[in-house]
Structure 1
Amino acid sequence: MTTPAHTDRPSSKQSWLARAAFAALVLAVVVLLIFAGLKTLTMLILGIGGVVVCVVAVYWFLTNRGFLRWISLAVAVLTPIVVLAFLVRERLLWVVLLSIGLFVIAGICARTALEGEEKELPVVERPAPPPVKPFFVMNPNSGGGKVEKFDLKRKAEERGATVALLEGPEKIDVTALARQAVADGADLLGVAGGDGTQGLVAAVAAEHDLPFLVVSAGTRNHFAADLGLDLDDPSRCLDALVDGVEVTVDLGNVGGRTFVNNASFGAYAEVVQSPEYRDAKTSTFLQKLPDLLAGRAGAVLTARSASLSAVGPQAVLVSNGPYEMNDLAGLGHRPRLDRGTLGIVAISVGSARQAVGLLHRAHQHGLAQGTGFEVIVDADTDEIPVGVDGEALVMRTPVRCTVSPQALRVRVPKDRPGVRRPRHAWDLVRLRELAKFTKSGA
C-alpha cells in the first residue's frame, strides 16, 4: 500500500524542524553507543525489564490482598531504585539522561514540523453580546471551597448575575433551579461547581437554546480544561460575561441523563457506589478492586458500537468526544468537543500478561478503542451502576448512550490561556518527506 503524496509544499521551517528531529534521534543513539558501548544492550534490557516488572507488580498489588499485595508493592517501588543504582554504579546515569533529553528534543521538533500539516478547521468562535440577565449555580463545597476562595459570588454579581448557592443540609434539585431561572427570564446559565452539576445545567441550557458558561471551580475541571479555561484562577472565566465569544459543543446522553465529559461502567462505577467511597476513596478502591478485576463481583458487561464490540470488559468509558489516547502527554484530553461522535474505551485486563500488553496498546487483549454515534452497554443484571460525570447512578440495562452534535452554546472568554493546539502522532513517513524537501521540490 502506498502513501498518498502531499501536494502542499511544506515551509522551510517545517523542513528544518524535520531534519532537526532526525538529527536528535541519531545523536541520541550515537551517545548511547559511544559512551555506553557494549552496555547499551544491557541498559535497554534492564530498562524494558524494569518497566515490565513494575507493571506486573502493580497489577498483582491491585488484584490481591494480604501478604502478596504488600510484597508486590515493595517490588514495584524497589525495581526503579535497582535500575537507578545500576546506572549510578556504572556511571551511565548522565548518558541515559542526555539520551532522553535528545529524544524529547526530537519529539518537540517532529511535532512542531507536523503541526504545519494540520488540515482540520479551527473551532469556530462567534461574537457574543453580553447577557442581560445571567444566572449562576455555585457550589461552595466544590473544589475545596473555590467559590469562597476566589470570591466568585461577589464577582459574578458585580457583572450583573444572579447567583444561587447550593448550600444547606437539604438536597437541591439543580435542574428545577435552572428551569425556574429560565422561566424568570435568564438569558445565560452558568455553573461554578463540579462536572456533574455542569451536566445538569447544560442540559437545561441546550433545551432552551441559551448560552452556557463554565467556571472552573470544580476539583478536576475536565470540561473546563478541554474548553481551554483558566484552571488556576476560576474568576477569569467570568470575563466571558463582558468580553466573551461563543463556541458550540456536543452533549452526550446516557439513559436519558446528559453528560459533558463521560459515562463510566464497570469497576470504577461499582466502587463509587459504595457508601464508604466518599470518606475513604483509596482504601475503598483497594478493598473492592481485587474481586472486581477477577470477576468475582460486579456485573458482566458487553459494549457495542459501530466500530467496537467488547465482551466482558472490566471497565467501559463512553466520552462526549474521543479522548486523545495515542500520546501519554495528552492522555485524558479531548482535542475537540464538536466532532459529533462519542469516544469508547473498553479495558479487559484478566492477567499480568494482559496488563503488560497495555504497554504496546494490544487491542485484542487489554485495550479497545472506538467511536460512534451510539453505544449500547448491556449486562447480565437488570441494573448496573453508572458514573455520569463523577456522579454515582444506577440504570436499567441495556443502557443506551448517544450524542447530540453541537447541541450546546458555550460562552467563553476571548483570552483562554488553556487553549491547546492539536497533538500529532509520529508520522515518520511524512516527517521523512519534510526532511528531504528542497527548493527544487526533490
Structure 2
Amino acid sequence: MVDLGPVPAGRRWLARLTFLAALAAVLLVLAGAGIRASIGLLLVSVIGMAVMLAAGWWFLTHRGVVRWASAVVAVAAPVTVLIAYARASLIWVVVLFGLLWVGTVAAGRAALRHTRDHRPDEFDTPPPARPFLIMNPRSGGGKVGRFELDSRARKLGATVYLLGGSGGQEDVAAVARRAVADGADLLGVAGGDGTQALVAAVAAECGVPFMVVSAGTRNHFAMDLGLDRADPSACLDALNDGVELRIDLGRVGDRVFVNNASFGAYATIVQSPAYRDDKTGTTLELLPDLLTGHRGPVLRVTAGSLTLLGPQAVLVSNNPYGLDDVAGLGRRYRLNGGELGMLAVHVRGAADAASLVFGGRPGTITRAGATTIEIDSDTGSLPVGVDGEALIMPTPVRCTISPGALRVRVPRRRPGVPAPPPELDWTRLRHLALGRG
C-alpha cells in the first residue's frame, strides 16, 4: 500500500467516527438482547424481510385475489417482526440501532465527500432583447396561472405564447421556429420535460439560448440544472440577471431528449392509451406480463463494447444518473460529461426483485456509459418513451449524445446542484482512518 500522505484532520476523524458508530450498533444489539436472543431476532428479521419482498414480487406479477392477498402479507410481515421485538421488550434496541446506523452512513459519506467540482462553467452574456416563452397552462396542475408566470414574464419584456389557445394538438417545434424567424433571441418553456425537449432541439438548431421555467409536474430537467422547483417564478430572474451554461443533448433516432429515452417495460406502459388518465392503475395492470416475460419484444442492447440480451427495461440518459438511483428517476449530478448513461434491469424472480431494494445483485442491474448506444429487437419497431412522450421507432434504435450542443440561460442566484453522495467504500474509509489518502 502506498502512503499518499496526511489527510485533513476533520475527514480522518469522520472516518474513525464511522467505524466507532458501526461498532456501537453491533455491541448495542449484543448487549441489549444477549447473543442467543440476538441471533433469534436476527433470523426473525431476515425471514420477515424475505417474506415481505417475496409478497411484493407476487403483488407486482399477479392480478386479482392473489395480488391483494400478497399486499396483505407484505404489510403483515414487518408488523410481525416489530411485534416479536416488542414482546422481547427490544423496540428501543431497534430504534437506537437505526439511529447509530444512520450516523455511520452520514459520517462515512462526509469523510469520503467529493472535492472536485463537476458544475459546468458559467458564461456572462447580455440579457436577451426579444425572449420568447412557451407556456402550458395545464402543466404541473396549473402552475402558470398559480404563480402568474405569464404576466410576470411579460413585465420583464418577454413574449408569451400560451399552449391550448388554438384547440387541438399544437406543433410546439413549429411555434418555436416561427418565433426565431421573427427575431426571438431566446426560447423558453414553462411546461413538462417533453415540451422542453422539443423546444431545446429548436434552440440548439438555431443557435439561440434556451431557458427552463420549472412549471412541470416533476421538473427533472430543472432539478438537474439546479433551478428552484418550489418557486417557478424565480426561474424568470434569468431574463435580466442570468448566466449561460453549455450542456449536452441526447438524441434517439431523429428526436432530442433532455432527460432520457426508455425501452422495454416502462416504454410499453407509457404507450397504453389509458396511461395519461390513470398512471398507477395502468402500470399495475401491465406489469405482470412485462416482468414475467410474457409480453413485449426481446431487447438487444449494445453500449460500446458491452452487449446485453433480454433486459426487461432499459433507460438511456443524457449523462448518467447517480449511482444511488436504481430506477433512473433521480438526479444527474452533471449535464456536461459528453456521455450517455445506460441502465438495464434483468428481473428473473422474487430474489432479483428483492435485491433491487439494496441496489441489485450481479446480473440484475447493468450500468454503462457510452457515446453511442443501440437498442435492437426481434421486431421491426419498438415503443420508446422519450422524456415521457410515447413514440414508436423502427429498429435498430440508435442513441447518441451531442456534447455542449445547448446553451441554457439560468438565474445567477439559484439553488444549484449538490455534490454527488459518495459510495460507502469501507477500504477507503479504513485508509482515511489511518491517516492515508
- Counterpart of 1:371, as a letter, is G
Aligned to 2:10: 13
2:25 matched to 1:22?
A: no
Q: Deviations over 1:230-276 (max 9, x none)?
A: 11111111111122122111110001100000000111111121112
Structure-1-length-normalised TM-score? 0.93
User: Could you tell me how far 1:194 is from its partner in structure 2?
Assistant: 0.2
1:176/1:307 Cα in 2 relative to 1: closer, same or farther (>3 Å)? same
CA distance in 1, matches of 2:39, 2:129: 68
2:133 matched to 1:136?
A: yes
Equivalent residues in 2 for 1:215-230, closer than 5 Å: 215-230=213-228
CA distance in 2, matches of 1:148, 1:327: 33
Equivalent residues in 2 for 1:269-348, closer than 5 Å: 269-326=267-324, 332-348=330-346
Q: Structure 1 residue runs of 4+, over 4 Å off?
A: 327-331, 359-364
- Counterpart of 1:126, as a letter, is F
Structure 1 residue runs without a partner (length 5+): none
Aligned to 1:79: 77
Identity across aligned pairs (percent)? 53
CA distance in 2, matches of 1:292, 1:331: 19
What is the aligned counterpart of 1:151 among 126, 148, 151? Answer: 148
Structure-2-length-normalised TM-score? 0.94
Q: Deviations over 1:286-328 (max 9, x none)?
A: 2221122222222111111115322111111101111113467
Over aligned residues, Cα RMSD in angstroms? Answer: 2.0
What is the aligned counterpart of 1:232 among 230, 233, 238? Answer: 230
Structure 2 residue runs without a partner (length 5+): none
May I ask how many residue pairs the two structures share in their alignment? Answer: 435
* Contact kept? 1:24, 1:103, Cα under 8 Å: yes
CA distance in 2, matches of 1:327, 1:202: 26
* Contact kept? 1:190, 1:201, Cα under 8 Å: yes
Equivalent residues in 2 for 1:168-179, closer than 5 Å: 168=165, 169-179=167-177
2:33 matched to 1:36?
A: yes
User: Could you tell me how far 1:120 is from its partner in structure 2?
Assistant: 4.9
Aligned to 1:207: 205
1:327/1:272 Cα in 2 relative to 1: closer, same or farther (>3 Å)? closer
Equivalent residues in 2 for 1:395-406, closer than 5 Å: 395-406=393-404
Equivalent residues in 2 for 1:251-270, closer than 5 Å: 251-270=249-268
Q: Deviations over 1:391-423 (max 9, x none)?
A: 011101110001111111111112222521221
2:406 matched to 1:408?
A: yes
* Contact kept? 2:333, 2:417, Cα under 8 Å: no
Aligned to 2:424: 426
1:431/1:77 Cα in 2 relative to 1: closer, same or farther (>3 Å)? same
* Higher relative contact order, structure no. (Cα contacts within 8 Å, ≥ 6 residues apart): 2
* Contact kept? 2:172, 2:195, Cα under 8 Å: yes
* Contact kept? 1:321, 1:343, Cα under 8 Å: yes
1:331/1:287 Cα in 2 relative to 1: closer, same or farther (>3 Å)? closer
- Counterpart of 1:146, as a letter, is K
Greater alpha carbon shift after TM alignment, 179-188 vs 417-426: 417-426
Q: Deviations over 1:320-369 (max 9, x none)?
A: 11111346799721111111111111112122232234345455532111
* Contact kept? 1:307, 1:371, Cα under 8 Å: no
* Contact kept? 1:133, 1:161, Cα under 8 Å: yes
Greater alpha carbon shift after TM alignment, 174-183 vs 98-107: 98-107
SS in 1 for 2:229: coil
* Contact kept? 1:307, 1:372, Cα under 8 Å: no
Greater alpha carbon shift after TM alignment, 356-365 vs 311-320: 356-365
Greater alpha carbon shift after TM alignment, 46-55 vs 245-254: 46-55
Q: Deviations over 1:159-201 (max 9, x none)?
A: 1111101114311111011111111111111110000000001
User: Could you tell me how far 1:222 is from its partner in structure 2?
Assistant: 0.6
